[in-house]
Amino acid sequence: MDPLLLGLVVGVSTVVMLFSGIPIAFGLCFISVVFLVIAEGFSILNVFAETFYAGLNSFVLLSIPMFILMGMAVANSPAGKDLYTGLDRWLWRLPGGLVVSNIGACSIFAALSGSSPATCAAIGTMGIPEMRKRGYSARLATGCIAAGGTLGVLIPPSIVLIVYGLATGTSIGRLFLCGVIPGLLLAGLFMLWAYIYSYFIDKKSAEILRNRKPPTLREKLEVIPRVLPFLLIVVGVLYVLYGGVATPSEASGVGAFLVFVMIAVVYKIYQPKKIWDIVKVSMKESVMIMFIIAGSYIFAFSLSTLYVTQSIAQTIVEMGLNKWVLFFYINIFLLIAGFFLPPVAVIVMTSAILLPIITQFGFDPYWFAIVFTINMEIGLITPPVGLNLYIIKGITPDVSLSEILKGSIPFMIMMVICIIILCIFPEIVTWLPDKLMGKALAY
């Protein structure tokens, strides 16, 4: 069978399999085995276990459960509440300051946890009721948290960027550096929309500001000692990564340990049951991601063995498309994929096909990783999967899903604007890693 036609059959079969509700890892493995056996015979199964093991035989993979453990420890402490309270007290004079505070808290908590759902749940539980109580519309209150939570997949340490690095063989430390300025840029665009909405559209915010009692300096300062140690841990982890002092695995392990020490010292969370609950949730999520990564190796191996990846890349190159037209089509494809699948699944399914194509057309794989990630952020706040939408719905059961979605749409537009800005000024992504780590070698 022609490799392109075979690739289409494999792709359709994979989508159908995943829509059946079967776990992603099992679905990828099943599809891979079926088509490998059909094409190569049962002898190919001799390398199945070896390939599956090779997908997990990487020391860098240790960083995933450690960063997840670090994030879950923060998520299960009052750190989110303290972040929100502190920013609210410092930004109280700004129109829409409460919304801006929530987005700022999401940005910082995203850096602490590296998880979009954890960010949504931690900041939304405190922030949404407070915003609604002070007169902000349910649409804006829910939309800003749903969008702000997506920053957890972009601002380092990001699990999505770790998976991308493992799937594509790119440097995780450089990916983290690439995500810093775009993450801050995207958070700034979110805040800009909150300010515009509150100042020009929602006149209630001005009235809220006039009637609010100003916080005292003591109130502004009292939260800082509780939040500062966690921020220093994140800064320290990133410093040792970028400074070449430690590997991602070592940095994440030390970071997780220090976070556990801090939640015990600052928030008195040291009871064995509470610690075990954090470890149990972290273990469950880690095993799921590890299984998906191993399944992705099997899937990538099958595509390569069937000559699907090489044929697609060669065909697209021979079509003679303008590189930006191709890039536009790839973005549309990623957006649609993100509507239906979680970010990790999209990365492990598509990176083996997309990476040769984008490098062939002269795109920087690190720059593309950030654009890829922002596309996945949009998917987190769009149905039918839209994980963040459902988390917000769980926090605010009295607000309809359609209202939450309408509140998220302006922030989706900001994400698209961010992608356009990065296309015009790619140095926004590459400047910081080039400055600290030197120019990346040609991929």
Q: DSSP letter string over 281-331?
A: HHHHHHHHHHHHHHHHHHHHHHHHHTTHHHHHHHHHHHTT--HHHHHHHHH
Whole-model pTM: value is 0.76
Q: How far is residue 420's CA from residue 12's CA, in Å, rounded to a whole number?
A: 30
Cα angle: 151, vertex 153, 156; to 5 degrees: 90
- Determine contact, residues 403/138, Cβ cutoff 8 Å: yes
pLDDT of residue 150: 86
Cis peptide before 365 (omega within 30 of 0): no
pLDDT of residue 227: 79
Residue 3: CB atoms within 10 A of its CB come to 18
Q: Which amino acid is at 349?
A: M
pLDDT of residue 24: 72
Q: How far is residue 340's CA from residue 384's CA, in Å, rounded to a whole number?
A: 6
Low-confidence ranges of the chain (pLDDT < 70): 1, 18-19, 21, 60, 80, 84, 92-96, 113-115, 202-212, 241-244, 309-310, 312-314, 316-317, 320, 340, 384-385, 440-443
Q: How far is residue 227's CA from residue 232's CA, in Å, rounded to a whole number?
A: 9
For 314, residues 6+ apart whose C-beta sits below 8 A from its C-beta are none
Q: How far is residue 48's CA from residue 36's CA, in Å, rounded to a whole number?
A: 10
- Determine contact, residues 183/154, Cβ cutoff 8 Å: yes
Q: How far is residue 58's CA from residue 72's CA, in Å, rounded to a whole number?
A: 23
- Determine contact, residues 79/113, Cβ cutoff 8 Å: no
Q: How far is residue 401's CA from residue 55's CA, in Å, rounded to a whole number?
A: 38
For the chain, the domains span: 3-437
pLDDT of residue 235: 79
pLDDT of residue 220: 78
In the three-class reduction of DSSP (H, G, I as helix; E, B as strand; rest coil), residue 393 is classed as: helix
Residue 323: CB atoms within 10 A of its CB come to 12
pLDDT of residue 244: 66
From residue 410, give the alpha-carbon distance in Å to each of 104, 173, 192, 196, 212.
Answer: 17, 32, 11, 11, 27
pLDDT of residue 16: 78
Q: Single out the residue of 381, 375, 380 nearest to residue 404, CA to CA.
A: 381
Q: How far is residue 110's CA from residue 157's CA, in Å, rounded to a whole number?
A: 8
Total number of residues shown for the chain = 443
pLDDT of residue 76: 76
pLDDT of residue 317: 65
